[in-house]
Structure 1
Amino acid sequence: MLISSTIEILPFIDNLNLFIGAQVLFHISSLNYLRTFTLAAKHLSFKTAATILNISPTAVSHQIKALEEQLRVTLFERQVRSITLTLAGQKLADACHVNLAEIDYVVKHLTQDKNEVSISCCHSFAALWLTPKSSQFNVNMPEYSLNIFASDSLVDIDKEKHLDIAIRYGSTEHDNNEDFLYTETISLYQSVQHPVVNSSLKKTNQQLFVTYWPENEMLNNIPWQQHFDASAYTVKTFPQEFFVLQAVMTGQGVGLLSDVLATSAVEHGWITKVDNTNSFKGYSYWLRISREHQESLRVKRATQWIKHEFSKLIPIEITK
């Protein structure tokens, strides 16, 4: 990324020792020369730096020469077909490698679209809860757009700088930096258009759909067999809950679903809880905010919206 030549370099290399025992304070009118130097130092090639910057090798040579004149040091030893860094050049290259990357990030952060809210969550939550509510998000915060990053792997929100909010799903154990949202209830659901004939008289070998994700060290599958008698059903598993919902909605059978993820389908009248069947607790949802973005108005408003939507959930009575 090239930065406008009207921007003066911050004193991140103030007092950099380019000479042993001597400290030099830099005041360089353009970051472009340092960017060019950094690329040439990385690849030890003016030609390669020129290709990356889409300028001529002669322009690279002129910029490096101008930088050397400003610093009053030689940065490269020039041979006929190669270049090598001098001691001063190596020291400047080391400083630029770290600090220019930081400047790039800060500038990108300061100039990024402030009208976006980025939320990380698991795939099922993204598909069945957050995406269906995106229109409500737009109504409540029309000046902001919602970006959803779905992943079933644990994402470090403090390292993934583009993320604002993470919705965690798991056991009651949680980080002190996370806010509790809701503990789900698992119940048996059926299609409204293709209901079970008599829920109290289960049909033998009726299809029962449940979610069973690949085992991992982070989160065990919910032990639904301890709470629900599946002896009268033919059990079929899916790795994601939205497959279970789809099977139920199309009348292929009944399914065990979280009240959180079933919310939209229930509100639309597509599925309903089967009467006279047991419900039991599942896992919990937690909210985590990026420490870097937590003071942002857009993040605060999005956080309030998420908490409000979860507060509207009415826990299903546990029958067993």
Structure 2
Amino acid sequence: MKFNSSILTGLRCFEVAAGLLNFTKAAQALNLTQSAVSQQIRNLEGNLGYSLFVRQHRSLVLTDKGKVLFECASRTFLDIEQTLRRLEPSDTPLQVNCLPSFALQWLMPRLSDFQHLHPTIAVRLKAEFQTLDLHAMQADDIDVAIRFDPGQYGNLKADRILDEYLMPVATPKFLSEHPAFAAGQSLQGVTLLHDATPWGGAPEFIEWRTWMEAERPDWLSELGGIQFNLASLAIGAALNHQGVAMARTALVLDEIKSGRLLNVFGRLVSSPAHYILLTQRAEDRRTTVFSLWLKDECSRFNDERRQLLSI
């Protein structure tokens, strides 16, 4: 059988009618008359040489061959529609999904630079903890996501864009009031501040534990303190002289530069997690432009961090 435009039109009418099992409803969905849909399907059956429907009184039932063709046709038309949607020029905002603390402390201050460089690409930033896979990104129409964890993303394009380091930070005032701690002698009277969930499923106290195991294993027996559900809250508590936060460099570099927070011991430890860029529509120009810009920003930040913290 030669594949031509009339066959394609007939297949589209068949796919809609087979999904609804009703010619009248299919005609409404296709903006055609019921007789036109019926004729298209009769022509298709004539070209194929077999029936696709068993026509019963006020109802339709797919034949065995009709069921097979419907599965193939519906899958094919869905793929075509999704591909056309991805390829068409879009002026809708680029949906960027990011962890709250990274969005607040690192990404948000840089977005105005992106907008200045690319004024035709609108960005809509949403901060949340949601665990992502391809289905979740498609369901929520997420174009780009940034996550911080040690995990793998098998069904998404995942680029490792920035490694991270951990360091205890506190205000000069707090350290002046706790000289034994500032000298590395004792944790007595010191409140440790924690991000309770640096990534989904993270063990309790994982960031302080990671740093202590590398630098002060003798302090592990005193591991405890106040836990917050956001890293930015733990940093805020440290800025209010309430204790010592275990900080990620991306979240506190500006505070270190200004002197509001100090890297207490000058020692950094590699984090078990890193920042990952997730995309589902790599062919989308907006996604490509944003991804390249973000990687450049990470590279510039890494250079600045290396100079300031001697990494």
TM-score by length of 1: 0.67
Q: Which runs of 5+ in 1 are unaligned?
A: 1-22
Offset, 1:118: 4.8
- Give the aligned CA root-mean-square deviation in angstroms: 4.4
Q: Pick from 19, 23, 38 the counterpart of residue 65 of structure 1.
A: 38
1:129 aligns with 2:106: yes
Aligned residue number for residue 183 of structure 1:
164
Match of 2:184 in 1: none
Between the aligned partners of 2:88 and 2:152, the Cα distance in structure 1 is 37
Q: Does 1:200 align with 2:179?
A: yes
Q: Is the 8 A contact 1:211 1:244 kept in 2?
A: yes
Q: 1:169 aligns with which of 148, 166, 171?
A: 148
Opposite residue 26 of structure 1, the aligned amino acid is N
Amino acid at match of 1:253: G
Deviation at 1:260, TM superposition (A): 0.9
Separation in structure 1 between the aligned mates of residue 117 and residue 199 of structure 2, nearest angstrom = 38
Q: Report which structure shows greater RCO (CA 8 Å, sep ≥6).
A: 2
- Is 1:165–1:287's contact at 8 Å kept on the other side of the alignment? no
Indicate yes or no: 2:3 matched with 1:25: yes
Contact 1:167/1:288, CA 8 A, preserved across alignment: yes
Q: CA deviation at 1:40?
A: 2.8
**SS at structure 1 position matched to 2:227:** strand
Deviations 1:42-92 (A, max 9, x none): 2323465567x396xxx5623421312542535433322311124554344
For the 8 Å contact 2:26–2:37, the answer to whether it is kept is no
1:263 corresponds to which of 253, 259, 270: 253
Determine the C-alpha separation between the residues in 1 that align with 2:41 and 2:284: 42
1:277, CA displacement in angstroms?
Answer: 6.7
Q: Higher helix fraction: Structure 1 or Structure 2?
A: 2
Q: Shift in Å at residue 195 of structure 1?
A: 4.8
Name stretches of at least 5 consecutive residues in structure 2 with no aligned partner.
182-186
The TM-score with structure 2 as length reference comes to 0.69
Deviation at residue 231 of structure 1 after TM alignment: 8.2
Report the Cα distance in structure 2 between the residues aligned to 1:117 and 1:206, rounded to whole angstroms: 44
Cα distance, 1:128 vs structure 2:
2.6
Superposition pairs of residues 90-239 of structure 1, within 5 angstroms: 90-111=67-88, 113=90, 117-148=94-125, 150=127, 152=129, 155-156=132-133, 160=137, 165-171=144-150, 178-179=159-160, 181-190=162-171, 195-201=174-180, 205-213=189-197, 221-222=206-207, 223=209, 224-226=211-213, 227=215, 229=219, 235-239=225-229
Segment of structure 1 superposing worse, 121-130 or 230-239: 230-239
Against the structure 1 CA distance between its residues 128 and 154, is the aligned structure 2 distance closer, same or farther, given a 3 Å change threshold?
Answer: same
Q: Residue 108 of structure 1: CA displacement?
A: 0.8
- Which position in structure 1 is the counterpart of 2:293? 302
